[in-house]
Amino acid sequence: MHFDYMKILRKSSLDIATYLPTFSAAASIFGCAALFLPLMIPRVASAVPVYTVIHQSDAFAFTGPSQTVGPQNTPIDFSFNDFTEFQNRNRGNVQARAGQGSLGITATASNNGLFAPQRQEVNAIFQFNTIFGSLGTDPVSVIMNLTLGGIVIPGNGGTYTVSVLAGLEGVPSARSGGSYSEVTGGGTQQDGMLSAFSDDGTDQAIATNPFLVPVNQPVQLFMMLSTSQVYSTVPGSIDFGSTMELSNLGDVFTIIGADGITVNSADAGIVNNRFGETVQAPEPGTLALFGIGVVGLVVIRQRRKAP
């Protein structure tokens, strides 16, 4: 099913997450640190992520029901377990989730034995702002790293497919995709990001092709997980529950040909290019030490001015 991503106009602001070092008694060190502190502060995109889940119970003839949840700014847990609208011949069972940096779909599709060529499709999408900080202004080339794990069990007819798509929102040339399909009776078909994927249930690293992103401003990125299956009398299953995630195996983004690039996103929970880590607020004791250091610097300057 072709899906045109729904755009949301939203304001983006910069969150400042500051790491204050533990200062020594030498007041001059504080003066030097103050000069370079703005360069060390990571800029984080505003926390306004977008979540969407689409369930098309009959993507072949569009007899429905067709359900869309979102786009919205809170995670989605979607559930469907009912007959389709085509003479009650097909029944779908879907659990889908769009969460922060994590997507999942578990789906089955059964048929009562009467001819009904419908196909069930599910899409889970997460859109998020990210800031690639740089001392320069030139765009940088990046690769988005993700993980995916799940199992496909074909029924007694048709093709069962899992697809992924990720990259820069609104720029088709900056997107990468891939699919993994199993056909009843044996055989697999796979390409793109999933060309080496194995449906053994283990989390596996997948990645986009390189694409260019601007620096020092919010950049809207996205990730999408999709499933497609036919209705069969012996229902097959696609089990990829919450298993497409931003990579937690290392850096979320591989930076190509540039140094000193910072990557942060409050939307996706990315801190210093790592997924799921949080920015720690300065300890009160650290702030007190900083204050003492500033006072010390003032005292030293006053003594130097004294005759």
pLDDT digits (tens, 9 = 90+) for 155-178: 887 889 999 999 999 999 999 999
Q: With the C-alpha atoms ordered 114, 157, 230, 83, is the resulting torsion angle positive or negative?
A: positive
Q: What is the pLDDT of residue 187?
A: 86
Could you tell me if 219 and 148 are in contact, meaning their C-beta atoms sit under 8 angstroms apart? no
| Distance set, CA 159 to CA 54, 120, 189, 196, 233 (Å) | 20, 11, 10, 19, 14
Q: Average of pLDDT values for 20-38?
A: 33
For helices 27-40 and 284-305, the axis angle rounded to 10 degrees is: 130
Beta bridge partners of 230: 119
Total-model pTM = 0.74
Lowest mean pLDDT, pick from 16-30, 193-207, 251-265, 290-304: 16-30
Confidence of residue 57 (pLDDT cuts 50, 70, 90): confident
DSSP assigned state of 28: H
Q: Which residues contact 6 (CB under 8 A, 6 or more apart)?
A: 52, 71
The pLDDT score that the predictor gives to residue 136 is: 93
Q: What is the pLDDT of residues 231-263, one digit of tens each?
A: 888 888 999 987 899 998 899 999 999 999 999
- How confident is the model over 130-155, as pLDDT tens digits? 999 999 999 999 999 999 999 998 88
The band of 302, judged by pLDDT with boundaries at 50, 70 and 90, is low
CA nearest neighbour of 24 among 262, 289, 234: 289
Residue 223, Ramachandran bin (φ over 0: left; ψ between -120 and 50: alpha; else beta): beta
Q: How far is CA 175 from CA 24, 169, 171, 193, in A?
A: 48, 8, 7, 11
Question: What residue spans define the domains of the chain?
Answer: 26-42+281-305, 44-275
Mean pLDDT, all residues of the chain: 78
Residue with tokens 């360069």: 39
- pLDDT tens profile 106-119: 999 888 777 666 78
Predicted local confidence at residue 43, as pLDDT: 36
